[in-house]
A and B are shown apart, each in its own frame.
Chain A
């Protein structure tokens, strides 16, 4: 790798260098990459199936055959944690994507429309901030059913508000700049301007805010699963595993500790990375929220 101090850097490269200046960010990124890889291929490499029971074995301490022990039904904990991690990460990413799509679309329309439409749309966001959303998510899960797709749609539908605000602020700042006016003057269509000029310029804040949304979303999924309203056993997510562990914490504390450690470390890495990205990109652009 060249140090690249003499060449001119693209904004993205400069941000990357600033991100990597703090060693903690490198660790966080490395940990997350390793985790994603492990969760993706780990369950396939494991000699056990995550829901395969072994009732004679029951709960055991870590051993050579079961690196993180087994639960009271004799299921291999490491396999279950990696499999559950895949589900939790999937929900985290998909729900964040849903939130980002809604938020970016809403913020773009509001910012571009301007005037009264903008004021009305932002007033709606203000009002929605005061909604007890968690109640609706719980209601939806309890009433309509506990389907996988419903979980991330429900969570995504809750988490888009701040994204909409961030994007709208950026669009307002950008839309009267010269390069947009120049594009319009040279006959570029509405969607061309949105797609080729606006979106690339708001991408930084979108990525930053999305990375800060993922841990919140994963916490919400874990909370729902913990309450029995999210992922349903024998399927596993970290919320499910933590709930099972909490039920038997007196006899087998490690059943809570292992998934808990995985979950907390992941949240820590995501939070560190989110903070790092925020500092590496524009330090001022995110400070208002």
Chain B
């Protein structure tokens, strides 16, 4: 188990440094870059800039410098937002993204798991078909359509929430719903399929034969195994929510990380771009690690293999 975790952590660190390398290489493709093409700037100031970011050194040294920044967590300033460290910017945007993403994940699980399980327990009935149809429709409602419609209905018409911005304590609701509804549909479909498959297996028949109650069969025996594919999906889902966060933060004009990422890429703010890519990679890697550990804890086959 410990070997398994350590090997996953090592793999994760490789991913993070590979992301730094690739983002750095991409940034070298930028013509000009930074403040250079933005406005008139004196030769001395530009030289000081280049020195600060190490751009006067050969590129291999620059890459080493990047590795050093992130290995020691001693991060440079943003090029676009003068005087603000990239870590400062991440610290200001992350709470917004995390609130929306965390709430969306909760909504997705709270709707998706019961809906899928309910359908699986009543196969081929009207309830099953209805919830499966609802889940299939949910998958096909892209966030860029669903989001503005929710904003129109609950924000502009009913005036229950702000249609955009990040001012009131309830401003997370609409963006989290936009993201959460779509993922609840995926989770419901996965849950239904895997619970039906599990209920057909022999250990379930054994449990029933030894006289276990239906509640105990479903919740103690079947759900434990049936939740594995859902758990497995949460890794990619977390990555998907980051993608979704770019869209949702644009629709609802939230000052989250997604907004900073896009503006950094467009403004060619290389230090901030590298920092945000690295941060996202670290997030995904940690999420996958948690999922792996939970899976190993739930499934002896994975645990013993590693």
Answer yes or no: do A and B interact.
Answer: yes
- A→B interface (CB under 8 Å): 126-127, 129-132, 134-136, 138-140, 142-144, 215, 219, 222-223, 226-227, 229, 239, 242-243, 245-246, 249-250, 253, 256, 260, 263-265, 267-268, 271-272
- Neighbouring B residues of A140 by C-beta, 8 Å: 26
- Neighbouring B residues of A243 by C-beta, 8 Å: 144
Query: Are B19 and A264 neighbours in the complex by a CB distance under 8 Å?
Result: no
Query: Are A139 and B152 neighbours in the complex by a CB distance under 8 Å?
Result: no
Chain B interface: which size bin?
Answer: 35 or more
Query: Are A256 and B145 neighbours in the complex by a CB distance under 8 Å?
Result: yes
- Neighbouring B residues of A249 by C-beta, 8 Å: 148-149, 151-152
29 contacts between A and B (CB under 8 A): A127-B14, A129-B236, A130-B11, A131-B18, A131-B281, A131-B284, A132-B280, A132-B281, A134-B243, A135-B277, A136-B22, A136-B26, A138-B261, A139-B277, A142-B265, A143-B26, A143-B265, A144-B29, A226-B247, A243-B144, A246-B144, A246-B251, A249-B148, A250-B156, A253-B149, A256-B145, A260-B149, A264-B145, A271-B139
- Neighbouring A residues of B11 by C-beta, 8 Å: 126-127, 130
Query: Are B139 and A135 neighbours in the complex by a CB distance under 8 Å?
Result: no
Docked pose: A123 CA to B140 CA in angstroms: 32
Docked pose: A81 CA to B107 CA in angstroms: 33
- Neighbouring A residues of B12 by C-beta, 8 Å: 130
Given A143-B26, A226-B247, A264-B145, check contact A253 B140 (CB 8 Å). Answer: no
Query: Are B19 and A132 neighbours in the complex by a CB distance under 8 Å?
Result: yes
Interface residues as binary, B243-261 with A (CB distance below 8 Å gives 1, 0 otherwise): 1001100110000000001
Docked pose: A243 CA to B145 CA in angstroms: 9
Docked pose: A131 CA to B276 CA in angstroms: 13
Interface residues as binary, B29-45 with A (CB distance below 8 Å gives 1, 0 otherwise): 11000000000000000
Given A131-B15, A132-B280, A138-B246, check contact A223 B144 (CB 8 Å). Answer: yes
Is B137 engaged at the interface, CB distance under 8 Å to the other chain? yes
* 10 nearest CB pairs, A to B: A142-B265, A260-B145, A246-B148, A267-B140, A132-B280, A268-B140, A134-B243, A249-B148, A226-B144, A264-B140
Query: Are A222 and B144 neighbours in the complex by a CB distance under 8 Å?
Result: yes
Docked pose: A140 CA to B262 CA in angstroms: 11
Docked pose: A142 CA to B141 CA in angstroms: 26
Given A127-B15, A127-B18, check contact A263 B142 (CB 8 Å). Answer: yes
- Neighbouring A residues of B27 by C-beta, 8 Å: 143
Smallest CB gap from A256: residue in B: B148
Is B242 engaged at the interface, CB distance under 8 Å to the other chain? yes
**Other CB < 8 Å A-B pairs besides A135-B276, A136-B26, 9 of them?**
A127-B14, A130-B288, A131-B284, A134-B242, A136-B22, A249-B148, A263-B142, A264-B145, A271-B139
Is the contact region of chain B dominated by helix, strand, or loop, or is it mixed?
helix
Q: Which of A227, A229, A256 contacts B149 (CB 8 A)?
A: A256
Given A127-B11, A142-B265, A143-B30, check contact A132 B242 (CB 8 Å). Answer: yes
Interface residues as binary, B73-105 with A (CB distance below 8 Å gives 1, 0 otherwise): 000000000000000000000000000000000
Q: Which of A139, A222, A271 contacts B273 (CB 8 A)?
A: A139
Given A138-B261, A268-B140, check contact A143 B268 (CB 8 Å). Answer: yes
- Neighbouring B residues of A242 by C-beta, 8 Å: 142, 144-145
- Neighbouring B residues of A126 by C-beta, 8 Å: 11
Query: Are B148 and A245 neighbours in the complex by a CB distance under 8 Å?
Result: yes
Min CB distance, B184 to chain A, in Å? 16
Given A130-B15, A226-B144, A227-B247, check contact A135 B262 (CB 8 Å). Answer: no
- Neighbouring A residues of B23 by C-beta, 8 Å: 135-136, 139
Min CB distance, A262 to chain B, in Å? 10
Docked pose: A260 CA to B145 CA in angstroms: 6
Query: Are A246 and B147 neighbours in the complex by a CB distance under 8 Å?
Result: yes
Min CB distance, A257 to chain B, in Å? 8
Docked pose: A131 CA to B288 CA in angstroms: 11
Most buried by B among A143, A242, A260: A143
- Neighbouring B residues of A239 by C-beta, 8 Å: 144
Docked pose: A226 CA to B243 CA in angstroms: 12
Is B209 engaged at the interface, CB distance under 8 Å to the other chain? no
Query: Are A264 and B277 neighbours in the complex by a CB distance under 8 Å?
Result: no
- Neighbouring A residues of B276 by C-beta, 8 Å: 135
Smallest CB gap from A134: residue in B: B243
Is B285 engaged at the interface, CB distance under 8 Å to the other chain? yes
Is B121 engaged at the interface, CB distance under 8 Å to the other chain? no
Is B239 engaged at the interface, CB distance under 8 Å to the other chain? yes
Is B266 engaged at the interface, CB distance under 8 Å to the other chain? yes
Min CB distance, A119 to chain B, in Å? 14
Query: Are B144 and A134 neighbours in the complex by a CB distance under 8 Å?
Result: no
Min CB distance, A217 to chain B, in Å? 13
Min CB distance, A153 to chain B, in Å? 14
- Neighbouring A residues of B281 by C-beta, 8 Å: 130-132
Given A223-B243, A264-B140, check contact A143 B19 (CB 8 Å). Answer: no
